[in-house]
Amino acid sequence: MLKCNINHTQKGYIAGILSAIFFGFSGLFVKLAQGSGLDSASILILQYIITIPTMWIIAFLKYKNQIKINKNDLIKLFFIGMFLQSSVSIFYYESFKYLDISIATILLFTYPIWITIFSSFFSKIKLNKVIILSVIITFLGCILVLDILHINTSFSLKGTLLGLGGAFFLAFSNIFLEKFENRIPPFILSTYSSTFIFLNLIIFRFPKQLLHINITKFQLINVALLVFICQIPPGILMYTAIQYIGAVKTAIIGNIEIPTAALIGYIFYKETLNPLQFIGILLVLGGIMLMQNSEYIQNKLFIYFHKINEQKSYCK
């Protein structure tokens, strides 16, 4: 029997790809649940009622000796789950009420730009010209994706702000998660942060109407699919990818979620993109890729122009 040895880097890339594909189905189940009469807070509450017991049972069975974490890590995970990741979920789910699946997803996936900008502040790294150019390209791409250049197009400012807000909080979340490196298993990280997300929802956003309505079988199935396809597996895979290859590379691979979401939107909701919106998606993807490789490109440009200047000096 042939054995396939996969190193940590390869595991990270595979985990990142699978995470993005699974996450790409989120919009489908969220829209179906919203269409059945549930609001975003109710969907999230039901989601975590299923998620939390499931994850803790698995944690005790599989990671019994690794469940206990130190006080500092617990405080960090409390902050990440309670304030950052809970905001990502709420903003992202709400954006589906105002935007198509593909558009809401492309806005969320501007988060690599935020990661680079925030990292430059925290690490005191200067934003070079390539990064600034990538931000401009991504911004122009978002304008085209939102289709606001067409006079007859209805433009949802609220949906746009919600989508970008989700990206903002996701960037911060991934930056903090990267600091854990390989010290804590991804599943344990996900279990703790999910618990704190649920705590936030219970304290600050619990929908009282959920206590007075009868949850239908269709709604429960949608929420269950959301949990076991779009939440637990991709969440763990994302943590794994971040630990093995870092937040930046995970963000690059995460772009696979965009075409996945667009395809899902087309198949199930007949959502289509006009040529300008398609160009906008390419610009956003191009801007993100340019930004992630900015240091390499900057060095290549420096060497290129340095050689040109040397040739000019030699000719003189």
2, part of any domain: no
Q: Which residues of 215-233 are buried (b: 16+ CB within 10 A; e: fewer)?
A: eeeebeebbebbbebbbbb
Question: Can you read off the two tokens belonging to residue 252?
Answer: 């690059």
76, part of any domain: yes
* Counted domains in the chain: 1
197, part of any domain: yes
What pLDDT score was predicted for residue 173?
Answer: 92
The pTM for the full model equals 0.77
Shortest CA distance to 180 belongs to which of 72, 92, 101, 286? 72
215, part of any domain: yes
What pLDDT score was predicted for residue 273?
Answer: 76
pLDDT under 70 in the chain at which residues?
1-5, 123-126, 148-155, 181, 248, 292, 312-316
3, part of any domain: no
187, part of any domain: yes
Domain residues for 185? 8-315
